[in-house]
Amino acid sequence: MNEQPSEAEFYKQLILNHVSHGHYKPVKPKVIFKKLELTEDETREFKRALKRLIRDKQIRWGAAHQVIYNGPERSSSPASTGKRDRVQGEGQRKEGEKKRRDKGDKGSGLKQMVGRFRRSPSGHGSVTATVLEATVRENASGESASQAFQSAPDERVFIRAPQSMDAATGDIVLVEYSRKRRGATTEWSGRVVEILRRRTNRFVGTYWVNQGAGCVTVDGGQFPQSVLVGDATAKGVQPQDKVVIEMVRFPSQHDYGQAVIVEVLGQFGQPHMDTLMIMRQFDLPEEFPENVVEESRGQAAEFAANITDGRRDLTQETIITIDPIDARDFDDAISLRRIENGHWLLGVHIADVSHFVQPGTRLDEEAYRRGTSVYLPDKVVPMLPEIISNHLASLQPDQVRFAMTAEIEFTAEGQLVQTEFYRSAIKSCRRFSYEEVDEYLADAEAWRSKLTPAVHQLLAQMHELAMLLRRRRFDNGSLEMMLPEVKLDLDRSGQVQGARVLANTESHQIIEEFMLIANVAVATQLSDLGYHLLRRIHAPPHERRLSELTQFVQALGIEVENLQNRFEIKRVLEATADSPLRHAVHYAVLRAMQKAVYGPKEVAHFALNFDHYCHFTSPIRRYPDLVIHRMLGDLIDGRRPNDQQRWLTMVGEHCSDREQNAEQAERELKKLKLLAYFQDKVGQEIAGVITGVESFGLFVQGTDIPAEGLVSIANLPDDQYYYDDRGRLLMGRSSRHQYRLGDQVRVQIQRVDLVRRQLDMLMLGPAASPQRRKKRQR
């Protein structure tokens, strides 16, 4: 098959690469033409490509005939760096295609897949299958990307450093792979054929000078060597400054690479410097564009609490909110009462963000670009300006606020009977924190004098129904992995002072159950009406993962037949919930699960065991919820919702990517703060739990302060160790001592490396001896 793109496709892609970049601002076509350094001879092809992109709805005309991009932002650098770079990129693409044809001949035994690359500090890497931007990309075998994804291995493909080209962590790559033997085991091994999309061209690192040449060591250790930046004196940079660089040429096995410094952040250790570094690394915006802020102010100026004909007046109903004590945006409220037939009538009232954020507005475009709010340990990066998120849309007490209401009727036994959706106006009569509700549940009588009779009764009824729904959900096969969630306690400068485990108390469970059932009700309604929708998809684990999980659990001494059955997984989770094996089993089950994503594919939510599930309850902080609100709004207004599968796929992949980026940013900042906390604690002993077992050592997370460190093979008691990947353990050949996933141990802090973001530990021994493997549980 001919892999060369047509001339029309080439110019379309050239324009798309430019307008889809995160730094692009809408401009007129002639500005884009100039930025791309096209010649007059290319004018005709350029105009044709624009028309095709308009026709395909990939771009649209904005004010003053400006070009606006309709799709998800790309984090790679634009193709607008000039014709020289464009020609160079075209040459690299052709070279990659030639290599693919040479190696992809029939009979070679090689397969191809598109995946996300991750490089380890050793220089080697791995690739995990993904669907690239929800588009169909033909590969050498004629498969589409979606077909290739389905046939891709359900484990990582190992890529040796010489076979990785200049790929960086997070890049989307095309790989060729096959099954190869490595030591006593076999694994998928391959090579990078082509880099399809860069995750980013910008990196954060430390500046230093080597023999008069400026260099930057990129944080995190993903590039084994420093990158040359040349003479950076014009930036006023000093050695050991943290800087942001733009990669001109990526490092590879035979090239140090080259970059330019685009921003000097300052010395590490300054207050909140770690947060600034992570925001730059993960491209998190600090401020909203002024035109977005102005649009928000316009919404505030126009807002009037008048209740129109299209909105039900619920301001006299008893409605409350329950949120964290430090919450500022309240996007859900609850009402509940018994009706004449003895049934329950639950009202889940969600902030009507769609009223303020209309499709196609600057507010909407910015919300889509961000995709989600990001909750860092010492900073929130909101999806919407605070004028909207903390004021107009927030369901504040004693204020008339607009909501989208799901009114759900249950039998006395908790069986869902019917659901109605409508726009409403509510007035919350009481804001509760989770702690207050827990106090009420512990001693309801003591709260009688503090609350109105209606609110006092409402809390009691909410608890009764929520616990009923919770029991039904678990009886139906919903899984619960009991892993501790730890919150860092920070001082005013953002430094770690301590940490605490967040308890999943009954107050949290009340809200959790009501949000879950509302999400189910919305998804079921849209699905029953025959519409595609943006689902929250949690696909079932791969069979190989479940087979390995079965062997692991059996090795712990737990009698189990086959964990292909969800109820068997549920039984094992419940049997170990209060035992010393909890960490081992619950971590192992979590690692066997796939990652939840957004998309229109009709796949049940495996962990919750819901046939239809979506996100509806948090439109202030999640764009997928806003999409669902708009679909409901169209139904209420008698219009057909926009349920185009291709569009929903694109939105789903973009929002999944933004969600994962936010989670990675939060993890990395926590890691940085914890490393700084342990910097002056080298030699200290701490308790921990083994969270990862690899052939080169163990990963251990502290129990009291949740920093994760590496105990290399060299830092284990003197012995030769055998790695059992199926049992997830390292075993000493002489001592027969085993280190297994979930084991509780004691370690000593040995070294803290803030640049490579690595904590090295020395194994001291087990924290306890539960004699667990001899005891069988049933």
HEC letters along 615-632: CCCCCCCEHHHHHHHHHH
Predicted local distance difference test score (pLDDT) of residue 336: 98
Give the rounded percent of residues in the chain with a pLDDT score beyond 90. Answer: 59
**pLDDT for residue 663 is more than 70:** yes
pLDDT grade for 495, boundaries at 50, 70 and 90: very high
The predicted-structure confidence for 80-122, as pLDDT tens digits, reads as follows 333 334 434 444 444 544 444 444 444 456 888 888 898 886 7
The predicted-structure confidence for 36-61, as pLDDT tens digits, reads as follows 777 776 787 788 888 888 888 889 88
Predicted local distance difference test score (pLDDT) of residue 8: 57
Nearest to 628 by CA among 610, 615, 638, 645: 615
Predicted local distance difference test score (pLDDT) of residue 362: 94
Predicted local distance difference test score (pLDDT) of residue 213: 86
**pLDDT for residue 576 is more than 60:** yes
**pLDDT for residue 155 is more than 70:** no
Give the rounded percent of residues in the chain with a pLDDT score beyond 70. Answer: 88
**pLDDT for residue 32 is more than 80:** yes
**How many other C-beta atoms can be found within 10 angstroms of the C-beta atom of residue 387?**
19
Average confidence (pLDDT) over 237-251:
93
| 194: exposed, middle or buried (Cβ count in 10 Å: 0-12, 13-18, 19+) | buried
Predicted local distance difference test score (pLDDT) of residue 185: 57
The predicted-structure confidence for 368-391, as pLDDT tens digits, reads as follows 999 999 999 999 999 999 999 999
Average confidence (pLDDT) over 12-22:
78
Predicted local distance difference test score (pLDDT) of residue 500: 85
pLDDT grade for 253, boundaries at 50, 70 and 90: confident
**pLDDT for residue 5 is more than 60:** no
Task: To the nearest 10°, report the CA torsion of 54, 59, 63, 65.
Answer: -50
Amino acid at the residue 222: Q
- Whole-angstrom Cα distance, residue 710 to residue 690? 10
For 72, 112, 245, 296, 725, the CA distances from 203, given in Å and listed in that order, are 21, 29, 5, 32, 34
> Which has the higher per-residue pLDDT, 694 or 615?
615
The two three-digit tokens of residue 748, written as one number: 């000593």
Category of 65 on φ-ψ map: left (φ > 0), alpha (ψ -120 to 50) or beta: left
**pLDDT for residue 672 is more than 80:** yes
* Tally of residues, the chain: 778
- Whole-angstrom Cα distance, residue 703 to residue 701? 6
**pLDDT for residue 483 is more than 90:** no
**How many other C-beta atoms can be found within 10 angstroms of the C-beta atom of residue 664?**
15
Average confidence (pLDDT) over 17-30:
80
**pLDDT for residue 23 is more than 90:** no
- Whole-angstrom Cα distance, residue 519 to residue 756? 41
Predicted local distance difference test score (pLDDT) of residue 204: 95
Q: 209 forms bridges with which residues in the sheet?
A: 214
Average confidence (pLDDT) over 253-262:
88
Specify the pTM.
Answer: 0.80
pLDDT grade for 6, boundaries at 50, 70 and 90: very low
Predicted local distance difference test score (pLDDT) of residue 215: 92
- By DSSP bridging, strand 258-267 and strand 697-702 are unpaired
The two three-digit tokens of residue 551, written as one number: 């062997």
pLDDT grade for 486, boundaries at 50, 70 and 90: confident
- Whole-angstrom Cα distance, residue 497 to residue 501? 14
> Which has the higher per-residue pLDDT, 227 or 210?
227
The two three-digit tokens of residue 665, written as one number: 């940013």
- Whole-angstrom Cα distance, residue 561 to residue 587? 20
Amino acid at the residue 651: V
Contacts 24+ apart (CB under 8 A), 352-355: 352/393, 352/402, 352/403, 352/404, 352/423, 352/629, 353/384, 353/388, 353/393, 353/619, 353/620, 353/625, 353/626, 353/629, 354/404, 354/619, 354/626, 354/629, 354/630, 354/633, 355/393, 355/402, 355/423
Predicted local distance difference test score (pLDDT) of residue 490: 92
Predicted local distance difference test score (pLDDT) of residue 181: 64
DSSP annotation of 215 reads E
Predicted local distance difference test score (pLDDT) of residue 111: 86
Predicted local distance difference test score (pLDDT) of residue 309: 81
The predicted-structure confidence for 113-125, as pLDDT tens digits, reads as follows 888 898 886 778 9
The predicted-structure confidence for 497-509, as pLDDT tens digits, reads as follows 998 888 899 999 9
96-100, 107-111, 278-282, 311-315: range with lowest mean pLDDT: 96-100
Question: Which residues 6+ apart lie within 8 Å of 196 measured at CB?
Answer: 114, 132, 137, 171, 172, 173, 174
Predicted local distance difference test score (pLDDT) of residue 235: 82
Question: Which residues 6+ apart lie within 8 Å of 588 measured at CB?
Answer: 549, 552, 553, 728, 741, 742
**pLDDT for residue 462 is more than 90:** yes
- 3 state DSSP class of 338: strand
**pLDDT for residue 460 is more than 90:** yes
Average confidence (pLDDT) over 326-355:
95
> Which has the higher per-residue pLDDT, 395 or 232?
395
Question: Which residues 6+ apart lie within 8 Å of 688 measured at CB?
Answer: 700, 701, 702, 703, 709, 744, 745, 746, 747, 761, 767
In DSSP notation, 537-585 reads E-PPPPHHHHHHHHHHHHHTTB--S-TTSHHHHHHHHHHTTTSTTHHHH
- By DSSP bridging, strand 125-129 and strand 111-119 are antiparallel
Predicted local distance difference test score (pLDDT) of residue 330: 94
Predicted local distance difference test score (pLDDT) of residue 502: 85
| Mean pLDDT (the chain, rounded) | 86
**pLDDT for residue 171 is more than 80:** yes
- Whole-angstrom Cα distance, residue 211 to residue 247? 21
Average confidence (pLDDT) over 615-639:
97
Average confidence (pLDDT) over 480-485:
86
The predicted-structure confidence for 179-190, as pLDDT tens digits, reads as follows 876 555 567 889
- Whole-angstrom Cα distance, residue 43 to residue 249? 30
Note whether 709 and 503 are within 8 A (CB): no
> Which has the higher per-residue pLDDT, 555 or 331?
331
